Amino acid sequence: MKTRRDFLQHLTTAALALPIASVYGLENPLPPVEVPYQGPVLRVALLGLGSYATRVAEAMKACTKAKLVGAISGTPSKLKDWQRKYNIPEKNCYNYENFDAIKNNPDIDAVYIITPNALHKPQCLRVAQAGKHVITEKPMAINVTEAQQMVDACKQANVKLLVGYRMHFEAKTLEVIRMRKAGDFGKVLFFQGLSGFIIGDPTQWRLNPALSGGGAMMDIGIYSVNGARYMIGEEPVWVTAQETKTDPVKFKAGIDETIQFQFGFPSGAVASCLSTYSLNNLDKFFLDGTKGFAELQPSTGYGPIEGRTHKGVLKYPHVTHQTTQMDEMADILLNNRQPEVPVDGEEGLKDMKLIDAIYAAVKSGQRVELKG
């Protein structure tokens, strides 16, 4: 039986322990309890089960707001493998012919389209018609006409359309954007974006114009197109571009090998960028202003991103990009969260307008003026 004396003695001992804890830097001797996420979870089906879809699926294991619940593929063996590996119910697995039936599946909220570029539009339209939210890989389409049709179809179906811009959620990238908005770089004058690698297998879909809609620009080049916009914080008003092709056999008609392109912005800032399938070691963004600079290198790879500014090295822990992306997109789709940099269909449409203008400038050799 505990007496009043026992209680007071216990209380005194506890009080004496507090200054001791403080001396040893233990003002909070017990770590804070992390409260598990209790909100709604976005239930996602992946459409197209290639290497990048696998990367997304693995990253989603660590998500708290998004969950992989379905799979869509034209390869039956892949569906069987994914059922086992990711514990996906057979009733949530579909092929390319029957996936319209997701309309009647209440277990799926959104479909992430990770297929060749030319398939994005028709698949997006089918997903929207089925009443599910759409996430599509970038570029969202093969031209601005198709991109606009995707935006319109999703609006008509009252579903949301997002584009897989994972860099829009990356911590070091967001810090550069924050610094630019805060005026840390002064008046921004120049952006450089270098995006490229040496492409391998000549039979892959990326080198098939019917599936890709283009070459390096429709794959790696979009990072510099998009990056120029969010790093400078403006929309270009003119475009110039020049193409170089050293291997017309590998890079057939309709497949660009290397394009250098330039943007002009309303403030007078300019961007000079490179997109290529023939050079490695090209993954760099550089932003320069009257008061300082920012450099990201690597700037868009799967990570970790490395960055520095005139104030020093950017220090943020690396988190798998696709994990952050899917949790953030869940917040957008379920809670109407507004991200720092948009990832909606309108954002993807802006990039497609620029890519169309780049190809037009290459073809004409003339500067292309852009309307607002």
| Structure tokens given for 217 | 């620009």
Q: Out of 86, 94, 112, 223, which one is annotated catalytic? A: 223
Rounded distance, CA 287 to CA 272, Å?
Answer: 11
The two three-digit tokens of residue 234, written as one number: 């403006």
Which residues are CB-contacts of 252 (< 8 A; sequence separation ≥ 6)? 207, 209
Q: Round to whole Å and give the CA distance between 63 and 50.
A: 20
Which of the 8 DSSP states describes residue 41? Answer: -
Nearest CA-CA partner of 215 in 236, 238, 244: 244
16: which residues sit within 8 A by CB, 6+ positions away? none
CB atoms within 10 A of CB 98: 9
d(CA 71, CA 108): 10
Length of the chain: 372
Is 291 an annotated catalytic residue? no
> Bridge partners of 133?
110
Out of 138, 160, 172, 350, which one is annotated catalytic? Answer: 138
**Burial class of residue 303, CB neighbours in 10 A (0-12, 13-18, 19+):** middle
223 is catalytic: yes
Residue entry with tokens 């991103």: 305
Q: Is 159 helix (H, G, I), strand (E, B) or coil?
A: coil
222-249 residues labelled b (16+ CB within 10 A) or e (exposed): bbbbbbbbbbbebebeebbbebebeeee
Q: Classify residue 83 by burial, with Cβ atoms within 10 Å: 0-12, 13-18, 19+.
A: middle
Sign of the CA dihedral 133, 321, 115, 61? negative
Catalytic residue numbers read 138, 223
